[in-house]
Structure 1
Amino acid sequence: MTATRPIPATATDTAPKSRRHAPPWAVRCAWITVLCTVPSGLWRMALGVGADVGFTGELGEMYTGVDIMVYVLALTVVSQAAAMLTLGLVRPWGERVPRWVPSLGGRRIPPLAGIVPGVLGGVAVTGLCLALALAPDGPLANPEFPQGTAGLVMNVCYAPLLLWGPLVLVLTAHYARRRSAASAPA
């Protein structure tokens, strides 16, 4: 039988539980940010593998081939990875580098390292989604874009992205408040 060594307590380990952990509502919101990017990613992947998603004319010709497959795969991986990073706003690895990371393991992550990208990303995604959805002469008004059932499917797949930016902003505000409360003297 081997003896286990106790792990030394850190400042966040000794903080009251209410300061240390994100509440369940925040964890659910973080997972929703991850899930709201999935439908558009699946729709793009269908486009990338050559499924007829409803584009016609020049757009229909442009959205075929290896180039579009690489593009949609890259876009889907990047957007899903960005959404997964939102979990850092509610998980311990968003406050301390995991111990298994060489040379950095256990170090405290400065709050601004989560706050600045969270605010910038939340504002950018919100602005982009609103601009695309509300622009009267924008890409969605193009008659070569999917229409009818194909257009409905595309809109249903992309509509959840309207939640992504605002949820990131809410989670970032909560992260900032929680991190400042954790560092405040008790």
Structure 2
Amino acid sequence: MTTNQGNTKNEATTLAEASRAGRALRRPAALTAVLAALYALAGVIAGLSGGPFPVGDGDPYSMALLYKAPNALLGWGLTALAGIAALLATLAAVTANRDRSVPGLRVAVTAIAAVMGLTALVLVGDARLLSVLGYIPVIIAKVAYDPQIQQAIPRLLDPAQLNLVVLAVGAAQWAALAVAVNRRARNACAKCGRSERTVDGPFSAQAAARWGRSAVAVAVFVPLVYAVTRICWAFGIPLGVEPTLLDGMQGQGMDTSALGLGGMAVLGSVLTLGLVQRWGEVFPRWIPRAGGKRVPIGLAVVPAAFVAMAIIPASVTMLMMAGLPSEGTIPGFSLTNWAPLGPTFLWPLWGVALGAATLAYWLRRRGACATCHRVG
């Protein structure tokens, strides 16, 4: 009798865990399907309207590697890819509650997630998102009196810029779905991803504390290299540029922009350092009302993850620019003018390092799971 009761209890626990796992997979799958379907619908409407798709204008800074591709080809290609993504995500949502998912679904979802992420962040993403973040202090300082800044403000919300944001959100959503599918396939906890085999693995809190420090060191160093060059320009020091080129930038008021960009890079490095510092977990005492309280994990993870995602396409764009002829105030890469593009060669490393540092911070601080009660 006792044995039967024990078996019944174990079966009930297993069913409850399977139900939680199904719900944890179904939610991101359903959301991904809806977002992908809406994007595909918007693409069809844009295509049938006869107007251009909001996917760049032929400028090397737009659409990165595919900036020379025909607008219609890019637009319809993204629309078709979104339709395929919607169908696959729907399949994942429908089969979420089954004990065994459709054979190959884990591989298929992971593969399509990689394709979507590659397409959104590398092939059709570009430097504009990171550029907007970097120019925030310049915009604030000069918007009241600078006509060029005033004219540029509406472009921050134009369809092409909003399309980049949507693509970034879609890539993040596909990553979330791939994680949920992976957890389901591994019989890991649907909420935290831990299993008996991973508690002491490389993604444990103890391991993340070790490799996270190395990731932070890289993510702090790279933007400082960029910052040094821009701040030197702002003070008239031709570091890595010919003096005549620096004179031209100063004549166009770009020294102020350089100071703003350098300042934002320094700020980014300081904030990244917080991912391994005490003040990154507990607000300093001098901060009104928040002093002494724990820093919400999302307050650090969400912006850091977004910046890491913005760095990846920006790095591809700048690497591509190095091989193009000089355009305007941006010269092609050379030994005498290495600073305009040279520091950006390290940006791929910066993006990966910041992403890893953010992951390590989350793994370190997430604590015990409320569902499986595992720690570490």
Q: Same fold (TM over 0.5)?
A: yes
Q: 1:78 to 1:42 in 2, by over 3 A?
A: same
| Per-residue Cα deviation, 1:67-107 (whole angstroms, up to 9, x for no partner) | 21111011100111012111222222222212332321111
Q: Identity rate of aligned residues, in percent?
A: 25
* 1:84-95 mapped onto 2 (5 Å cutoff): 84-95=270-281
| Contact in 2 for aligned 1:132/1:140 (Cα 8 Å) | no
* Alignment deviations for residues 140-159 of structure 1 (CA, whole Å, 9 cap, x no partner): 51335055312445554332
Which residue number in structure 2 is paired with residue 128 of structure 1?
314
SS at 1:23 equivalent: helix
Please, what TM-score do these two structures have when normalized by structure 1?
0.71
Match of 2:209 in 1: 23
Q: CA deviation at 1:170?
A: 0.6
Match of 2:325 among 118, 142, 153: 142
* Per-residue deviation, 1:45: 2.9
Question: What CA distance in whole angstroms lies between the structure 1 residues aligned with 2:359 and 2:347?
Answer: 19
- Mapping of residues 1-186 of structure 1, within 5 Å: 23-48=209-234, 49=236, 51=238, 53-54=241-242, 62-65=248-251, 67-134=253-320, 138=321, 141-143=324-326, 145-152=331-338, 154-181=340-367, 185=373
One-letter code of the match for 2:326? P
1:7 matched residue in structure 2: none
Does structure 2 retain, via aligned residues, the 8 Å contact 1:118–1:172? yes
Alpha-carbon separation, structure 2, partners of 1:161 and 1:50? 23
Once the two structures are TM-superposed, the CA of residue 65 in structure 1 deviates from its matched residue by 3.2
In structure 1, what is the Cα distance between the partners aligned to 2:319 and 2:272? 23
Which structure 2 residue ranges, 5 or more long, are not aligned? 1-203
Q: Distance in 1 between matches of 2:246 and 2:335?
A: 16
- Contact 2:242–2:337 (Cα < 8 Å) also in 1: yes
SS of 2:367 mapped into structure 1: helix
Instruction: Please state how far the C-alpha of 1:160 moved relative to its aligned partner.
Output: 2.3
Larger radius of gyration: 2
Q: Structure 2: which amino acid aligns with 1:79? A: A
Aligned length: 164
> What are the ranges of 5 or more consecutive residues in structure 1 without an aligned counterpart?
1-17
Give the TM-score, by structure 2 length.
0.38
Separation in structure 2 between the aligned mates of residue 111 and residue 80 of structure 1, nearest angstrom:
22
How many angstroms apart in 1 are the aligned matches of 2:359 and 2:368? 14
Q: Return the alpha-carbon distance in structure 2 between the equivalents of residues 183 and 106 of structure 1.
A: 24
**CA 1:70–1:159: 2 relative to 1, 3 Å:** same
**What is the Cα-based RMSD across aligned positions, in Å?**
3.1
Give me the whole-angstrom Cα distance separating, in 2, the residues matched to 1:182 and 1:175. 15
